[in-house]
Amino acid sequence: MEPSVRLVETKNINFKNPVVIIGFPDVGLVGTIVARYIIDKLKLEEIGHIESNLFPPILVIHNEKIQNIIQINGNENVIVFTSEIPVPLEILNDLTKVIADWITSKKAEMTFIVGGMPNQNRLEMKTIVTHAIPTTHRASAILNKGKGQLFDEGVIIGMNALFLRKFFEEKSDGIALLADSFLAFPDPESSAVVIENLNKMLGWNIETKKLLEKGDEIRLNARDLMKKTREILNKMRKPVEDESTMMYR
């Protein structure tokens, strides 16, 4: 049976064991904000995209140009995946497999799955914690270079969970970096913390000052995407909450 998605490469890049960043719309839009900021700061051109007949009838335009819904930006050393819309539930499994298999084929050095983790006390927090989940011993060793705190117990849902499980099962090097975040509001501050962790682990020097300065603008521009993302997240959380209720009766 044909997968519901197809990955299309539009540039012929000679990859050199690249670092991969996966940042899709999620809690606080942290994944999206991180991915787009890295693309902008590293000036990564679009090198591919995802096609699917299950995408909703939506056309996204930026700076007078039609955009692919799920984009792949990069160069020989860095690859970034991001999306203009919340990923439809119908393609989550196929999309995860297609992307993970492609990453493996490019002999990636390490894959970072970036996103947010809802924290009801986020508003009062003086220090935003990045929760880290490695998939291999090698990935665990790299965590020592950053300030991520190992996630010791809990439940991860959605694409982040699917990617982690896929990399774990295939013994591929991957790390999820999930920062404490608002559940229903875009969170540039938490996104900046994730980028600072990536800087430490990868030896990058991506400044986050402009990201923080544009916080209000980002929150305003991302309202619609946040609303649609929350609707998808609520659909994914319901079965988990029902299962948890059954387990602890």
Q: Is the pTM of this model over 0.85?
A: yes
Q: What is the pLDDT of residues 67-105, one digit of tens each?
A: 999 999 999 999 999 999 999 999 999 999 999 999 999
Query: Could you give the CA distance from residue 249 to residue 226 in angstroms, rounded to a whole number?
Result: 33
Examine the pLDDT at 244 and tell me if it is beyond 60: no
List the beta bridge partners of residue 23: 82
Report domain extents, the chain: 5-247
CATH superfamily of 5-247: PAC-like subunit (3.40.50.10900)
pLDDT band of 2, cuts 50, 70, 90: low
- The overall average pLDDT reported for the chain is 91
Instruction: Please work out, in degrees rounded to the nearest 5, the angle formed at the alpha carbon of residue 123 by the alpha carbons of 118 and 125.
Output: 90
Query: Could you give the CA distance from residue 159 to residue 157 in angstroms, rounded to a whole number?
Result: 7
Q: What is the pLDDT of residues 41-76, one digit of tens each?
A: 999 999 999 999 999 898 888 888 899 999 999 999
